A and B are shown apart, each in its own frame.
Chain A
Amino acid sequence: MLNVADNSGARKLMCIRIIGASNQRYAQIGNVIVAVIKEAVPNMSLEKSEVIRAVVVRTRKELKREDGMIIKYDDNAAVIIDQKGNPKGSRIFGAITEELRKFRFTKILSLAPDVL
């Protein structure tokens, strides 16, 4: 169950599938996933048990960079996006890594309060 790192209206997501990878078991930071909303804030556009796409932005599993830096977060979180890759919410919560730039999620990076 992933936390939602934006203000789109959902609170918790359950990952169903990883987009673009046939047998990949675990999603990493930057992977787009298909998820179902398990918990949502009432009276917003997104409802519970809705199937949406999201991009993983924080994982408890370490992210390894080529320069040897290893980053670990305290939770697993995703940002809900539409088919094009634009975030559904208008604010992002928490720190985001530069890895998303490689995957062309520049809008998310610009909204992020802190970029590592």
Chain B
Amino acid sequence: MRLEKCWFCSSTIYPGHGIQFVRNDAKIFRFCRSKCHKNFKMKRNPRKVKWTKAYRRLHGKDMTQDSTFEFERKRNRPQRYDRINTEKVLQAIPKISKVKATRQKDHITKRLSVGRVNRRTEDRRELEQSISLVKAPSVLKEDATLTLPKQKVTVSYAQTENTPMEE
């Protein structure tokens, strides 16, 4: 039994799922579901179809190079059963996949953090420019309490230790 990768979307194909298509030059195309198979029949290029892993890797949306990828490699020769080795591998697999998952998540968070900063500066600029839609500028000038200025207050840690936590 071997877990294959879908040719179109690169997801794993478990046994009993999907269709294998053998072309006349004996190249085998494996598909995880009919969605991928139908896209293939339409002659779509997976590198141009946005939801596939090929597109995401090509356009830098997902992590491409990392040391955790090197643990998983395709071997065509069956390995002799070694009990100690097998035990070690079975213990290592969840650790490696956890590290891989956190690194992939961080890659995406890092990629999206630029947008978060941009959105924040945009919002701040919009607030400064369009505050007149909420309150007339002359009113804001007269009464200073309407716009609460930020005040920095230093907290002494000795005080906070004695206060009980709120339920």
Query: Secondary structure at chain B's binding surface: helix, strand, loop or mixed?
Result: loop
Are B26 and A72 in contact (CB-based, < 8 A)?
no
* Bound form: Cα–Cα A20–B4 in Å: 37
Interface residues on chain A, size class: 10 to 19
User: Which chain A residues border B26 with CB–CB below 8 Å?
Assistant: 94-95, 113-114
Give A56 Cβ to nearest chain B Cβ, in Å. Answer: 15
The residue in chain A whose Cβ has the minimal distance to the Cβ of B21 is: A72
A75: interface (CB < 8 Å): yes
Query: Do A67 and B28 form a contact, CB below 8 Å, given A72-B21, A73-B22?
Result: no
User: Which chain A residues border B116 with CB–CB below 8 Å?
Assistant: none
User: Which chain B residues border A62 with CB–CB below 8 Å?
Assistant: 19
B23: interface (CB < 8 Å): yes
Binding site for B on A (CB under 8 A): 58, 62, 67-75, 94-95, 113-114, 116
Further pairs besides A72-B19, A74-B21: 17, Cβ < 8 Å = A67-B16, A68-B17, A69-B15, A69-B20, A70-B19, A70-B20, A71-B20, A71-B21, A73-B21, A73-B22, A74-B23, A75-B24, A94-B24, A94-B26, A95-B28, A113-B26, A116-B22
